[in-house]
Amino acid sequence: MPAKANDVGRYGMVVVSNRLPVDHEIGPDGATRWKTSPGGLVTALEPVMRSAEGAWVGWAGAVDEEFAPFENDGIEIVPVSLSAEEVQEYYEGFSNDTLWPLYHDVIASPQFHREWWDAYVAVNRRFAQAAADVAADGAIVWVQDYQLQLVPQLLRELRPDVVIGFFNHIPFPPYGIFSQLPWRKQILEGLLGADVVGFQRVADAGNFTRAVRRLFGYTTRGAAVEVVGPDGDIRHVVARTFPISIDVAGFEELAARPEVQARAEQIRSDLGNPKTIMLGVDRLDYTKGIGHRLKAFGELLAEGTLAVEDVTLVQVASPSRERVATYMTLRDEIELQVGRINGDYSTISHTAIAYLHHGYPREEMAALYLAADVMLVTALRDGMNLVAKEFVAASVDEDGVLVLSEFAGAADELKQAIIINPHDIDGLKQAIVAAIEMPESERRRRMRALRRKLHENTVDHWSKSFLDTLTGRGAVPPGIPET
């Protein structure tokens, strides 16, 4: 039964995501502390959340812990708890060992387990209920990402009065791949519970609408899907692209700080002031093409095209999903590859690859971007890749070369990068050499164009255009790109 107006929650804007925008920490005294993780999403939504009495529903990353809702910086934080079994089956299992590889071109084999699916349904139901409990009458509820694809429909059943948006941060696969999923219809039904379903690339929105046509026979007109209800009534769902971005001004401000610039100088000098510093920054994930990048660099060193005296590769690989078997294997493979290249080509004074299996705060990241001459983004498949955008934002000196995979969503916008196919190792090697040798005038021309493009679409534009479309209540606004 839908809740009555007098027993609904008080929040006019509710964001629902698997992870909360705050990290849970246990202090030395054993007490719980919360630290805001300064992601782009939080920055973009903070002003809207404050003015609309916002609540954020999500998991605190802890196992078997119940936390009461609390206020953080003007936003109500509503923690959803997960048991150890749910973390294993819903998060590590169905989200990251079924959906993640399936939605990223099956680079790794997706595992299909019925118990994982059951856990996914149960946990999505819990998130939907938590959102239903706090949303005010007619509230806007914005659900984020692949871990929560059933929430829109479940929430619509609980609260038909709220306006529901869903944004998929990762790719949406072509039908030939999506159709492998035993629960493909349930997933689409879940998503179609939303008024607006947003994607990163035109291709993702197209894959989604094609799947909807194939599996349900619904008519799609441009970005509008005509969902036919049980009584033959038609409800319009908008499915279109909203390419996500970053807090551009925030990154620029960081990169312009004297202490960050001094840190960048320090990094260069600690590395022995090589002519060229190349940088890779990724979660340690098989979608990122880290192995392809290392192979290309290793071959360039082996051939003598590059020498460790001149070029250093800094590879930040932040730990991720470490209890999922595919990620454990990947770590072993990458570290073997790094060890071999360093063993073969490093000298006492020059290390070929500075490999860092750590996550770093934003300040250190900005310093690394500033210190780098060439940024390597060689993803095999990536929804957007915000690292590419962060590098451009941090390049306040308008210098630096971005090598960018065509398989990252960012390639749709950042066309002045050197665009590569990471599977083509020879092409990747040529691109690396071209990036290193690029004359300053061309570097500046390209970087200026990239920075102009980045300024046209910041994370504020992204959230505003999504929310504007959503408050149009599912109607297709004029002039939006057809999917």
Which residues participate in catalysis according to the annotation? 169, 382
How many positions of this chain bind ligand G6P (CB under 6 A)?
Answer: 8
Q: Which is nearer to ligand G6P, 152 or 298 (CB)?
A: 152
Contacts of 452 (CB under 8 A, 6+ apart): none
Asked if residues 348 and 392 have their Cβ atoms less than 8 Å apart, the reply is no
Asked if residues 12 and 139 have their Cβ atoms less than 8 Å apart, the reply is yes
Draw the binding track, 93-112, toward ligand G6P (x: CB under 6 A; -: no contact).
Answer: ---x----------------
Q: Which is nearer to ligand G6P, 100 or 345 (CB)?
A: 100
Task: State the nearest-atom distance from the C-beta of 75 to ligand G6P, in Å.
Answer: 18
Counting contacts by CB under 6 A, is residue 389 touching ligand G6P?
no
Counting contacts by CB under 6 A, is residue 19 touching ligand G6P?
yes
Counting contacts by CB under 6 A, is residue 295 touching ligand G6P?
no
Rounded to whole angstroms, how far apart are CA atoms 162 and 143? 12
Tokens coding 394:
């941090």
> Pairing between strand 401-405 and 418-420?
parallel
Q: Which of 275, 349, 362, 261 is nearest to 316 (CA)?
A: 362
Among left, alpha and beta (phi > 0; psi -120 to 50; other), residue 273 is left
Rounded to whole angstroms, how far apart are CA atoms 277 and 282? 16
Task: State the nearest-atom distance from the C-beta of 305 to ligand G6P, in Å.
Answer: 34
Q: Which is nearer to ligand G6P, 53 or 285 (CB)?
A: 285
Rounded to whole angstroms, how far apart are CA atoms 261 and 18? 35
Asked if residues 98 and 326 have their Cβ atoms less than 8 Å apart, the reply is no
Draw the binding track, 335-364, toward ligand G6P (x: CB under 6 A; -: no contact).
Answer: ------------------------------
Rounded to whole angstroms, how far apart are CA atoms 107 and 171? 13
Q: Which of 335, 325, 349 is nearest to 294 (CA)?
A: 335
| Residue with smallest beta-carbon separation from ligand G6P | 169
308-337 positions binding ligand G6P, by CB under 6 A: 320-321
Q: Which is nearer to ligand G6P, 387 or 454 (CB)?
A: 387
Task: State the nearest-atom distance from the C-beta of 19 to ligand G6P, in Å.
Answer: 5
Rounded to whole angstroms, how far apart are CA atoms 290 and 434? 19
Task: State the nearest-atom distance from the C-beta of 269 to ligand G6P, in Å.
Answer: 33
Q: How far from 377 is each of 103, 419, 422, 446, CA to CA, in Å?
A: 19, 10, 9, 16
425, with CB counted inside 10 A (0-12, 13-18, 19+), is middle
Q: Which of 436, 404, 438, 409 is nearest to 420 (CA)?
A: 404
Draw the binding track, 158-177, toward ligand G6P (x: CB under 6 A; -: no contact).
Answer: -----------xx-------
Contacts of 318 (CB under 8 A, 6+ apart): 282, 283, 284, 357, 358, 359, 360
Rounded to whole angstroms, how far apart are CA atoms 173 and 193? 19
Q: Which is nearer to ligand G6P, 246 or 301 (CB)?
A: 246
Counting contacts by CB under 6 A, is residue 377 touching ligand G6P?
no
Asked if residues 260 and 367 have their Cβ atoms less than 8 Å apart, the reply is yes
Q: Which is nearer to ligand G6P, 18 or 209 (CB)?
A: 18
Q: Which is nearer to ligand G6P, 168 or 312 (CB)?
A: 168
Q: What is the DSSP secondary structure assignment for residue 408, as one 8-state letter?
A: B
For Cα atoms 109, 114, 117, give the angle at the middle one, nearest 5 degrees: 85
Q: Which is nearer to ligand G6P, 124 or 416 (CB)?
A: 124
Rounded to whole angstroms, how far apart are CA atoms 476 and 404? 32
- Counting every residue written for the chain, the total comes to 483
Q: Which is nearer to ligand G6P, 22 or 418 (CB)?
A: 22
Residue of the chain from 89, 145, 189, 204 that contacts ligand G6P (CB under 6 A): 145
Task: State the nearest-atom distance from the C-beta of 167 to ligand G6P, in Å.
Answer: 10
Task: State the nearest-atom distance from the C-beta of 365 to ligand G6P, in Å.
Answer: 15
Interface with ligand G6P (CB under 6 A): 18-19, 96, 145, 169-170, 320-321
